[in-house]
Structure 1
Amino acid sequence: MNRRHIALGALALPWLPAVCRAQGAAGGPDLSRYPVGPLPPDFLGSWRTGQGPPGDWRVVEDRTASHGKAIAQISADPTDYRFPLAVYQPLAAQDVEASVRFKAVEGRVDRAGGIAVRLRGPDDYYVARANALEDNVNLYRVMGGRRQQIAGAQAKVSSAEWHTLTLRAEGDRFSVSFDGRQLITATDRTFAGSGKVALWTKADSVTRFDRLEIRSLR
């Protein structure tokens, strides 16, 4: 199988099995198939880490997105320790590379977008996130609902502009790239099994996502 990805706004292909086993196998939603409105059924939007209400995830029109649509988290609830998740349901993987374009639109408490892998539940996963208020990119593990930073790097994260964030997890090795430049490499052994991939925000971040691409590494 080649390395072309199924992506938000890309050509639709049949869904992969629940666990992505073939090396290089790729999956992701084709947003062009979904109408503007509620979150597509391939996503679970009720999960959130921390306190406060879950996120309000929707498909919205966006002329700057790949095909004129984006998945957006539009709730501006200011609860500080609040991390809404939109979990992509059709596949799971342990060794995986997940990439997404995001645009941090608004947020006073926080203005961030992230991509999570190896989700076991709303309180256990790895996440890479970029923050437009802090101008940094960090890698975290979330264990039992507690967020712990593994590594971080400074980077200019402009608001209201598209950026690409990629998280690669292979065994105990992790790397994070931002706009095509690798910023973080780290090791961690907390979560070794397979899990879901999810879109992620924090607090009152109003963030849009485009072109979610997921590639199994084994």
Structure 2
Amino acid sequence: MSPNPAWRSRRRGLLLAFGAGMAAAALVLGLTTTGASAATLLSDDFEDGNSAGWTTNGGSWTVTTDGSRVLRQSSTSSDARALAGTASWTDYSVQARVRPISFNGSNRFAAVLARVQSSTSYYYLALRSNNTVELKRLVGGSSTTLDTASVGVSAGSWHTLRLEVTGSTLRGYVNGSLLTEASDSNWSSGRVGVATFYTTASFDDVAVTTGAGPTPTPTATPTNVPTNPPQPNVADGWASVDAWGQNGTSGGAGGPTVTVTSASAFLSAIAQPGPRIVQVQGMLTLPGPMHDVTSDKTIVGLGSGSGLTGGGLNIGLPIDDDITSPPSDAVHNVIVRNLNFRGWPDDAINVQMFSHHVWIDHNTWTTGTDGGVDVKRGSSYVTISYNHADGTDKNMLLGHDDDNGAQDTGRLKVSYHHNWFDATNQRNPRVRFGDQVHVYNNYYNDTGNYGVASTENAGVIVEGNAFVNVDDPFHLGEASSGPGRIVARNNCFTNSGAGEAGGSVSAVPYPYTLLPCAQVQSTVSAQAGTGRI
């Protein structure tokens, strides 16, 4: 068990009141407020040995000992909630230390609740067994994901969850770090709670405050989560190779750094000539669908909650099918890191027309119309690493058409490594013509259609990946596209098919460290996505 937070108190017995306009809090005081701008609405550390003031629905709830006294939900066969507080509470922060103990299946969770209307309608911040945290809305028992982020989740370890609701703004924190944020106006007030979904868990140090809420002592990283290999701070893989007049990928290094907080400022910055580092602060709503990025740019999100919604990035010149070799003005030397992509109407990121030396790293994408990252029309020397693709359909296309061999043959050299393909459906990647395409140390779980497809004589190396609940990990040919080549080695398969390989592929020319596939699931799920650099 992690050390108790510094703000923790054992005082019990004083009933809170907040004047004529506020109903008396249902629980007794156990927390010192954090400052003049914050006031405590409710607190419970369960050291009195009871759960007075809490009402439960489903599960089996008791106060027990787990290092200290805690509220424990001990059934893994139900959806369970414990609620407290008053329906008139409006803007507040609800925080609790949460220790998932046992998950009965995949994608199970423990959560804190805010603005509870009933046992089937509320906002909640859920710590899921697939190493994500989700900010969600439940209406009449039907859930909608408002935002999501990757986070290491270890059964038996304590995590501090905090859900802030202010007006229509919702923010979710894990261990003091802002990971999810959304806007929703379904409810303006309501009770608080804790919950589990087919999970046993302990809850402790529940605190509801106005203002910013208490600041927890950071929870230590579970010791059973591998931390190797080290995550790169410079481009590796194909993006590091000296070719086409470019020595590696440095992005906007050497140019000015600008921080943008509006869509107009962002679009202006990425269109400027010359090197530039563009720091994105917050979620920016773009007019859509695709916006051009010029050469020598680093685009990086600040924190874990920054990114783009409503539009995507185009790294490349306008389409010209008559060009069959790299033009001198091809877009090159671009880095895109630490961005959340939401609701894109075309592609989240599109790399085209012989663009080269591109590094796409530590991003998270969820809902969009077409691809998460597409690379096509002769582009090459691209590395796509440590990204979290959460539930996307057409995820990563490499080579757009069977008839584009004139531009693509001998190009489309891309490294895909340490990405988390989280319940994605297809194109993880789907490859035409590219050679050598290197797919290594990625984590695939609950893939809907297939993982990797090699077509049109593409050469793909699939090594050291972890496939969990994937019926078709990799195969040759796809739809009307003819077969390519796959060399598969050192992969792990859990409740998955064996994959289809064949042919030979030359070795890649760059150095790399291969993580044993047995460590890939825990390592990648803890390190991929935004907020990890």
Cα deviation, 1:75-105, whole Å, max 9, x if unaligned, reads: 121xxxx531101246851101011101110
In 1: Cα distance, 2:197 partner to 2:88 partner: 23
User: In the superposition, relative to structure 1, how do residues 121 and 101 fare at CA in structure 2: closer, same or farther (>3 Å)?
Assistant: same
Q: Label 1:144 to 1:88 Cα distance change in 2 as closer, same or farther (>3 A).
A: same
Query: What is the match of residue 71 of structure 1?
Result: 71
Measured in 1, the distance between the counterparts of 2:54 and 2:7 equals 16
Where does residue 62 of structure 1 map in the other structure?
66
2:479 corresponds in structure 1 to none
Q: 1:30-65 CA deviation, whole Å, 9 max, x = no partner?
A: 411125xxxx221101x2xxxxxx1111111112xx
Give 2:193's match in structure 1, choosing from 174, 181, 198. 198
Q: Distance in 2 between the 1:28 and 1:90 partners?
A: 13
- Who is 1:115 aligned against? 112
User: What's the offset of the Cα at 1:6?
Assistant: 8.5
Cα distance in 1, alignment partners of residues 136 and 148 from structure 2: 9
Q: What code does the residue aligned with 2:72 have?
A: A
**RMSD, aligned CA:** 2.4
Q: Which runs of 5+ in 2 are unaligned?
A: 1-5, 18-22, 26-35, 213-533
The equivalences for 1:17-56 within 5 A come to: 17=17, 18=23, 24-26=38-40, 27-34=42-49, 40-45=51-56, 47=57, 54-56=58-60
Q: TM-score, normalised by structure 1?
A: 0.79
What fraction of aligned residue pairs are identical, expressed as a percent? Answer: 22
Give 1:13 shift.
5.3
8 A Cα contact 2:95 2:160, kept in partner: yes
The letter of the residue matching 1:31 is: F
**Residue 87 (structure 1) aligns with:** 83
Amino acid at match of 1:216: T
Check whether the contact 1:73–1:206 (CA below 8 A) recurs between aligned residues.
yes
The answer to whether the Cα contact below 8 Å between 1:44 and 1:89 also exists between their aligned partners in 2 is: no
> How far apart are residue 164 of structure 1 and its match?
0.4
Whether contact under 8 Å (1:6, 1:13) holds in the other structure is no
SS, match of residue 42 in structure 1 = coil
Counterparts of 2:124 and 2:117, CA distance in 1? 12
Whether the 8 Å CA contact 2:70–2:204 is kept in 1: the answer is yes
CA distance in 2, matches of 1:123, 1:172: 20
Larger gyration radius, structure 1 or structure 2: 2
TM-superposition CA deviations, 1:104-139 (whole Å, max 9, x none)? 1012225421100101111111000111x2000001
1:148–1:90 CA distance, 2 compared to 1 (3 A): closer
Q: Distance in 2 between matches of 1:91 and 1:32?
A: 26
Bigger relative contact order (CA 8 A; separation at least 6): 1
Cα distance in 1 between the residues matched to 2:141 and 2:104: 23
TM-score by length of 2: 0.34
Q: Is the contact between residue 15 and residue 90 of structure 1 (CA under 8 Å) also seen in structure 2?
A: no
- 1-side partners of 2:66 and 2:200: how far apart? 14
Contact 2:87 2:115 in 1 (8 A): no
Alpha-carbon displacement from aligned partner over 1:141-176 (angstroms, at most 9, x marks no partner): 111111111110011111101110110000000111
Q: Match for 1:56: what amino acid?
A: S
The 8 Å contact of residues 133 and 148 in structure 2, kept in 1 or not, is answered as yes
Preserved contact between residue 86 and residue 190 of structure 2 (Cα < 8 Å): no
CA distance in 2, matches of 1:13, 1:216: 21
Aligned counterparts of 2:161 and 2:200: Cα–Cα separation in 1: 17
Residue in structure 2 matched with residue 210 of structure 1 by the alignment: 204
1:51 match: none
Deviation at 1:16, TM superposition (A): 2.1
Aligned partners of 1:13, 1:6: CA distance in 2, in Å? 18
d(CA) in 1 for partners of 2:112 and 2:53? 16
After superposing on structure 2, the runs of 4+ consecutive aligned residues of structure 1 that deviate more than 6 Å are none
Output the CA distance in 2 between the equivalents of 1:85 and 1:198: 7
